[in-house]
């Protein structure tokens, strides 16, 4: 039966470790994997703008010997009323996997229900699991075994925060999330992350104090304050979120060798300062590159071509 990757919680901790180990091998020796997807096509559907996700998936599929088909919903009959389930049924006859960036998680679930090939969530309002694969690989590269490490996320309790909570918990990390009041992660995600952390030796802490979250952390992480679809709220959010900016003061509170992550695009001067994102603690550009390697590992695993 085909596996889908709609949530980071669709894999077990053991499978997550395996994916990250595979990604590290692919990064080290990409030529060894150059024809693993020969003769295969992967549909890439984008209902939201994308830079890193689109480019890393297109380049990744091509460098594995496959054929990437990058599509917007306006180019498909989706834009004229065809159901997402029927689109999945049809694309399954042509392609070996489907990648979708969309708004509601229910669209991914509907696509997966219609499709007979693996469906990958390349971002929804609920989760961003492909991003978190790259984040965790970056932590491993910089810090070694992530178990017992503390990651502090400052900002909006959004899709990235949800996937970080789940993925970090799977690796036994200590996750601290600090958001303004009313912007916390969804409770059921926090509860599930706590359940996972209980089994792996990690921990989950969600609060509203950014300084407390940052203190002694091995990793500081932030994201934009207004996600795609929330642009009209931007000015209002800046007023509320400014205390959660990662700047030199926040970095000084963290561990002396702490690294800084941002899933990008960055609104410099808002959620992160130039001094930090361009400074020696920043692992942001390695993090962006690692999208390529982790997504290649994910595709090979889902398609049985490792």
pLDDT tens per residue across span 124-168: 999 999 999 999 999 999 999 999 999 999 999 999 999 999 999
Examine the pLDDT at 229 and tell me if it is beyond 70.
no
Q: Where in the chain is the domain with CATH 3.40.50.1370?
A: 8-127+290-302, 131-287
Query: Known catalytic residue: 293?
Result: no
Q: What value does the mean pLDDT of the chain take?
A: 95
Query: Known catalytic residue: 131?
Result: yes
From the candidates 96, 131, 287, 295, give the one annotated as an active-site residue.
131
Q: How many whole angstroms separate alpha carbon 99 and alpha carbon 43?
A: 6
pLDDT tens per residue across span 78-103: 766 789 999 999 999 999 999 999 99
Q: Which residues contact 166 (CB under 8 A, 6 or more apart)?
A: 7, 8, 9, 127, 132, 189, 192, 193, 196
SS3 labels along the chain: CCCCECCHHHCCHHHHHHHHHHHHHHHHCHHHHCCCCCCCEEEEEECCCCCHHHHHHHHHHHHCCCEEEEEEHHHCHHHHCCCHHHHHHHHHHHCCEEEEECCCHHHHHHHHHHCCCCEEEEECCCCCHHHHHHHHHHHHHHHCCCCCCEEEEECCCCHHHHHHHHHHHHCCCEEEEECCCCCCCCHHHHHHHHHHHHHHCCEEEEECCHHHHHCCCCEEEECCCCCCCCHHHHHHHHHHHHHHCECHHHHHHCCCCCEEEECCCCCECCCECHHHHCCCCECHHHHHHHHHHHHHHHHHHHCCCC
pLDDT tens per residue across span 232-272: 777 788 899 999 999 999 999 999 999 999 999 999 999 99
Query: Which of 41-50, 135-144, 193-202, 274-283 is the least confident region?
Result: 41-50
Query: Known catalytic residue: 274?
Result: no
CATH 3.40.50.1000, domain 8-127+290-302, yes or no: no
Residue with tokens 């679809």: 229
From the candidates 125, 135, 218, 223, give the one annotated as an active-site residue.
223
Query: Known catalytic residue: 10?
Result: no
Query: Known catalytic residue: 263?
Result: yes
Top-level CATH class of 131-287? alpha beta
From the candidates 263, 287, 293, 295, give the one annotated as an active-site residue.
263
Query: Known catalytic residue: 262?
Result: no
Percent of the chain topping pLDDT 70: 96
């Amino acid at each position: 039966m085909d596996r889908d990757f709609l949530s980071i919680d669709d894999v077990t901790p053991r499978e997550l470790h395996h994916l990250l180990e595979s990604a590290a091998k692919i990064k080290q020796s990409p030529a060894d994997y150059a024809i693993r997807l020969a003769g295969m096509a992967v549909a890439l559907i984008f209902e939201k703008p994308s830079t890193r996700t689109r480019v890393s998936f297109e380049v990744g599929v091509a460098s594995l010997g496959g054929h990437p088909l990058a599509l917007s919903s306006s180019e498909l009959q989706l834009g004229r009323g065809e159901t997402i389930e029927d689109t999945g049924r049809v694309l399954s006859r042509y392609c070996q996997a489907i990648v979708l960036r969309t708004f509601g998680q229910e669209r991914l679930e509907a696509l997966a229900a219609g499709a007979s090939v693996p469906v990958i969530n390349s971002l929804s309002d609920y989760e961003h699991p492909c991003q978190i694969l790259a984040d965790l690989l970056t932590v491993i590269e910089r810090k070694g075994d992530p178990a017992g490490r503390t990651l502090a996320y400052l900002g909006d309790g959004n899709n990235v925060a949800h996937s970080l909570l789940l993925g970090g918990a799977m690796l036994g990390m200590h996750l601290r999330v600090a958001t303004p009041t009313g912007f916390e992660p969804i409770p059921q995600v926090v509860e599930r992350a706590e359940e996972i952390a209980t089994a792996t030796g990690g921990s989950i802490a969600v609060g509203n104090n950014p300084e407390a979250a940052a203190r002694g952390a091995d990793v500081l992480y932030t994201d934009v304050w207004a996600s795609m679809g929330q642009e009209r709220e931007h000015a209002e959010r800046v007023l509320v979120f400014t205390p959660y900016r990662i700047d030199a003061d926040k970095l000084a509170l963290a561990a002396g060798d702490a690294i800084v992550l941002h899933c990008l695009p960055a609104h410099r001067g808002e959620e992160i300062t130039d001094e930090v994102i361009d400074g020696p603690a920043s692992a942001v550009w390695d993090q962006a590159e690692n999208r390529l390697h982790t997504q290649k590992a994910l595709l090979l695993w889902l398609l049985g071509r490792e």
